[in-house]
Chains A and B, each alone.
Chain A
Amino acid sequence: MKEKTEVNDINENIYNFKKKNDYSYETIGLTPEIIKEISKQKNEPEWMLEIRLKALETFDKLSMPTWGPDLSELDMSKIATYVKPKVYMKKSWDDVPEDIKDTFDKLGIPEAEKTSLAGVGAQYDSEIVYHSIKDELVKQGVIYTDFDDAVKKYPDMVKKYFMKCEPMTDHKFAALHYAVFSGGSFVYVPKGVKVDIPLQSYFRLNAPGAGQFEHTLIIVDEGASLQFIEGCSAPKYNEINLHAGCVELFVKDNAFLRYSTIENWSKNMLNLNTKKVIVGANGKIEWVTGSFGSKISMLYPMSILNGDGAKCEFTGISFAGEGQNLDTGLKIVHNSPNTSSVINSKSISKSGGICTFRSVERIRPNAKNSKVTISCESLMLDSISRSDTIPVSEIETDDVEFSHEATIGKISDEAIFYLMTRGISEEEAKAMIVRGFADPISKALPLEYAVEMNNLINLELKGAIG
């Protein structure tokens, strides 16, 4: 039997640099007093404080998930629920304190803003520290600002949409989110406006033992379109960090939204994020997701196809290495006639990592003439890893075309042999095949992010196969 070359994982990467934990205010734990203090620090209206306190009650009532990865090491009394950096939101990178600016420089955000983005939001711990949007978009009525600013400047719009997509009662971590949320972005694209160049929000968690609970609310009005990119990372600490953000998306009739995420949280992070979209008639949501980081992820973006002819496309890849348990997938509800969804999910497990694809597809009785295609592929790079596929379908009408297929396997010996006959080393042949496996996701990303994703794959693969 052929022996593998075992090389330890590389723990240091381009995302793993730490800055001094320098904040102006920090709260640890989760009590009504802490919630009131967070609200006071943010100078919020009374109605928002009431929502937070109600959410805390809901959090206490709801139980932990009885399925999925073990979350027993999460101790909310030790999590810094609010960490306010020593800076207010700036509109120029020159005004952002040097150490925070240096962080985002290393992550390539200001450079990307110059070359390929129409707007940028940068969150550091619990607060947005930088936000910008191109003047052309402002002139067309596009709003892209941080969430706190939106609460103050656009209260009617926030009240109309906030918590209407994702209720606090959905699950325990949605309730937690609404109790302590801070930061995040607000986007409104008016009717008929096409935002062809992406907007990006980047979330950086620097403080050890902290939680990040940003709220993203995006409304793409009728006939409008938007591409939005979300990036996230953190340096690695020995203690547990928590991410319980919430993304609420509204794609109105005939509108389009592509929501791309490259998630590379550090491997001490519990990533318990919630994402949901409501899609109107002939609207379309495209989810593009690359999950590489975190110790544990439980993330299942949900699409509610509410309008006639609404569409959902999901393209995602998960890459779990040593010590990682990535339980990801999606939820889709077909709630109107002629709706369709196409799902392509891929996962790679190595060095003891666990990848689970978990999904639910619901076809409601009125969703006549709906079509669903799901394809899941899992690649195992060794036998100490694990890969599970747990898809649920619930079909309540006969007028539907539903198909699901999944495969699990290793890298084909024939493919390696073929490449080796072309003079390519075995290790490089395997790496090429893994990169090819991830190619459909790379293609769905803007070039800069495809390059970033490929770099992440190369970094993860280094020393892992052979």
Chain B
Amino acid sequence: MKYVLNPTPVRTANNFGINDITLNFKLPKTTKFDKMSIEDNKDLPIEINDDSMVLDNRIGLEIKSNKNIYINIPEGKVIKDTIRLLFKLESNTLIDNVIIDVGKNSKVKLLFVYEGTGFHFLKQKVKVHEYANAHITISNMLDYDSNSFIAIENELEDNSKLKHSLVEFGGKNRVSNYHSIQSGFCTENNVDTIYLGNKDELIDINYLIEQFGQKSKCNVRVQGALNDNAQKHFKGFIDFKEGCTKSIGKENENCTLISDKAISRSLPVLLCHEEDVEGAHGVSTGKIDEKKLFYIMTKGIPYEAAKKLIVKANFSSIIKDIPNDNCQSLIMKRVDEI
């Protein structure tokens, strides 16, 4: 069946080919999903059930969950270790509805890892209360024969900080939607994304950060590499609302094209309804820098290895912030497979 998904919040000409993504796939039947584990949860009250719930989402897919996860970080709780949630798909379907409530003055790091093959839809809703600090990593390491959909919605209260590290590596069709509302005063929302496209994979990334509160800050950093016939759409919107004085919003995308058949489409948008703000965006796209390649090859490293080394180097500033060594190693291993 044909689906028109992931609409941009502001439309531009249809013949620019970026307003939506059209995908052909069959929506699978959902059954119970068991292959899930939680590590280092430190006795937090994580509630899990298998109820079927309708998931409102900005991707535009009508879908019901088969796994609901409620994570409540109590007020004042500071958790040093990273809580890891691991999901292994085995040619089945996971539609997880994750609701995270980060209590006032608390601090937490969460890591979600998705592996295997299947149909995956994640709806994640995050509320970060006053003075709380959350770092959430979502690592999509699914195999090629998968469909991956990630819809994230955040709300940030006064003086809160939220960082998402997003690894978009798996699935033939990969659609993600990120929507943040920085309603509070002096909030900070950072998004670090790396994507890697191989074969005929299609990646559609659609981010919207709305700054309402004064002195809001956001920074979207996206690093990607496209190989073979892969296609990517990056649509990043920073929306400075009236009254968000002294706010700063930045977004930057860097796409490395490893193949001359890959296609990169970008739409980095700044929407501004407030005078006293600083907004900036940048996009750079191109092949691997030949000077860098030459330099590395003069050290005796073969061409293919040198290429991978440069892609890894581009990713490294984002990967190093992922709070798990094993996860970092897996990401690097995937780059080695290109």
Residues of A at under 8 Å CB distance from B?
65-68, 358, 360, 365, 368, 378, 380-410
Contacts and interface: CB of A to CB of B under 8 A. Distances in A.
Contact of A408 (B242, B267, B270): B270
A398 B284 contact: no
B287 interface: yes
Nearest to B257: A398
Given A360-B16, A399-B260, A405 B280 contact: yes
Contact of B267 (A378, A382, A391, A398): A391
A320 to B, nearest CB: 13
Contacts of A393: 264-267, 283, 285
A389 B270 contact: yes
A388 B274 contact: no
Contacts of B14: 66-67
B228 to A, nearest CB: 11
B11 interface: yes
Contacts of B19: 67
Nearest to B254: A403
B12 A383 contact: no
B17 interface: yes
Nearest to A358: B12
B208 interface: no
A381 B258 CA distance: 43
Given A400-B286, A404-B282, A387 B13 contact: no
A398 B228 CA distance: 11
A162 to B, nearest CB: 23
27 contacts: A65-B13, A67-B11, A358-B13, A378-B272, A380-B277, A383-B273, A383-B274, A383-B275, A385-B273, A385-B275, A394-B18, A395-B263, A397-B257, A398-B260, A402-B286, A403-B283, A403-B284, A403-B285, A406-B268, A406-B279, A406-B282, A407-B279, A407-B280, A408-B270, A408-B272, A408-B280, A410-B277
A394 B17 contact: yes
B324 interface: no
Given A395-B263, A402-B286, A405-B281, A410 B10 contact: no
B271 to A, nearest CB: 5
B162 interface: no
Nearest to B242: A383
B73 to A, nearest CB: 35
B278 interface: yes
Contacts of B50: none
B69 interface: no
Nearest to B265: A394
Contacts of B268: 391, 404, 406
Nearest to B238: A408
B189 to A, nearest CB: 18
A259 B323 CA distance: 55
Given A395-B264, A409-B278, A388 B271 contact: yes
Contact of B11 (A66, A386, A387, A400): A66
B95 interface: no
Contacts of A391: 267-269, 283
A407 B250 CA distance: 9
B262 interface: yes
A387 B266 contact: no
Contacts of B269: 388-391
B280 A381 contact: no
Given A360-B13, A393-B265, A396-B263, A383 B270 contact: no
A410 B240 CA distance: 13
